[in-house]
Amino acid sequence: MMMISISNILLLALAAANGCSAFLHSGINSAAAVRRDIPLLHSSTQATEPSSQPRSGIAQELLNLALKSPLWTYVMVPQARASIVKTAESNGIQWMNAKSWLNEQLSTKDYSDVVYPEYYKQSFHAYQDGNLSYDAAVEQELASRAVGARNFPKYGERGEDVFRDSFDKALAGIGARICDNTNEQGKKVIVDFGCGTGTSTRRMASQYPQVDQLIGIDLSPYFVDVGNTLLNLAPNAIENGSGWITSITPDERIELRQGDMANTLLPSNSASVVNLSLVVHELPTSVAKQVVSEAYRILQPGGQLWISEMDFESTAYKAQRENALLFSLLRATEPYLDDYADGCKELREFIVDTFDSTKITAATGRHYALVAEKGLENNGDDVDRVKRLEDYRFREDGSYAVEDTHLKPWESKDD
């Protein structure tokens, strides 16, 4: 029997750390897509009209008040947390044991003197201090595994791996690669923007043994500290007798550092790849543009920007956004989700205008993968050149190129 469950919805929203909210809906069955070449003039960065009108009315106001009330903080959020832990444990993900083990390994530090951009000082993912706490950092990878298991019940505790695999395949399908040439230091470097505790950084390290260095950058020193602790401990998974939920391979090429991805202080033309995995939806569009510009600056000629994200132009996400209750709950844990949804097209046009070639494709039923390449040195003679976006997200009939096979927010794996 199917029934609406607020805790199911909040379970997903609360698990959004470092992009886990992107698990909310996705499909993994690919289908043939149509390439659409969309010409964009070099200066085409003008803003677009919002994709939906601001929500208003008495019902919406009452809902907004409820989400700011003690009911949300002291009843709904704890209920959702209990639900996600139960989901994890029932799928063989030993949340409580792993969290206890990691907390015992940590030597916590005081980061009160670190300065953050204003947009980052928000409550994210139902953590009062947002990403600026050890609690959020310790639970990030636990939540990722739990949400993956919940949303891909067929694969159980491997659900997150299946989800991330879909992005890897989509990126490869539109030409993601490590460029052959090295930087001035003779190195091939991947920079992972918004790395969190390093899940995506470690994953790329295992996939690209030819890379000399992988630099993960995140604004939260708490997430970076937890990530470095895991790298230093290099634990086996719990089932192998250690304390963590997955096995982590030590890799001296990986460096996780606290910093601002909009101003990395890295040398220009120094990176082979800049990766943004499930990060952009947590940024105001204005900041996202700064991040894209910084990525372009540090990429060497022939280097690529990889983005994996929610696609609010997909049919499924459009429908979700029209559900006032559901989307209000999600926005309560993702302060910039409306800004992201309205700014998707504007940001994409900015990327196309900035880079020399851009390709985008459907990765799941509700997510896209994008590859943008920085051209070779051209002495500025491309000022009047028309740039194009190769868009493979839709079939000829206009439907999304990947079926939306994901579990719906109100469903449980036993329905």
Structural domains present in the chain: 6-403 (3.40.50.150)
Q: Is the pLDDT of residue 117 over 90?
A: yes
Average pLDDT, the chain: 83
For residue 147, what pLDDT is reported? 86
How many angstroms separate the CA atoms of 342 and 49, rounded?
8
Q: What is the pLDDT of residues 248-265, one digit of tens each?
A: 999 999 999 999 999 999
Is the model more confident about 60 or about 127?
Answer: 127
Q: Report, as an integer, the average pLDDT of 383-392.
A: 76
3-state secondary structure string, 325-380? HHHHHHHHHCCCHHHHHHHHHHHHHHHHHHCCEEEEEEEECCEEEEEEECCCCCCC
For residue 194, what pLDDT is reported? 98
For residue 138, what pLDDT is reported? 97
The listed range with the strongest mean pLDDT (147-151, 157-161, 198-202, 402-406) is 198-202
Q: Is the pLDDT of residue 184 over 90?
A: yes
256: helix, strand or coil: strand
Q: Which amino acid is at 302?
A: G
Q: What is the pLDDT of residues 21-49, one digit of tens each?
A: 444 434 444 445 555 555 443 333 333 33
Q: How far is CA 185 from the centre of its chain?
A: 30
How many angstroms separate the CA atoms of 17 and 293, rounded?
24
Residue 2 host element (H or E): none
Q: What is the pLDDT of residues 78-95, one digit of tens each?
A: 777 888 898 899 999 999
> In a 10 Å sphere around its CB, with 0-12 CB exposed, 13-18 middle and 19+ buried, how is residue 163 labelled?
buried
- Which of 328, 268, 258 lies closest to 293, judged by CA? 268
Tokens of 320: 């979700």
How many angstroms separate the CA atoms of 393 and 404, rounded?
13
Q: What is the pLDDT of residues 364-378, one digit of tens each?
A: 999 999 999 999 865
- Pick the range with the lowest mean pLDDT from 21-35, 48-62, 236-250, 386-400: 21-35
Q: How confident is the model at residue 354 (pLDDT cuts 50, 70, 90)?
A: very high
Q: Report, as an integer, the average pLDDT of 213-227.
A: 98
Q: How far is CA 380 from the centre of its chain?
A: 33
Give CA angle at 71 (68, 72), nearest 5°.
Answer: 55
Q: How confident is the model at residue 236 (pLDDT cuts 50, 70, 90)?
A: confident
For residue 41, what pLDDT is reported? 37
- Which of 392, 316, 407 lies closest to 31, judged by CA? 392
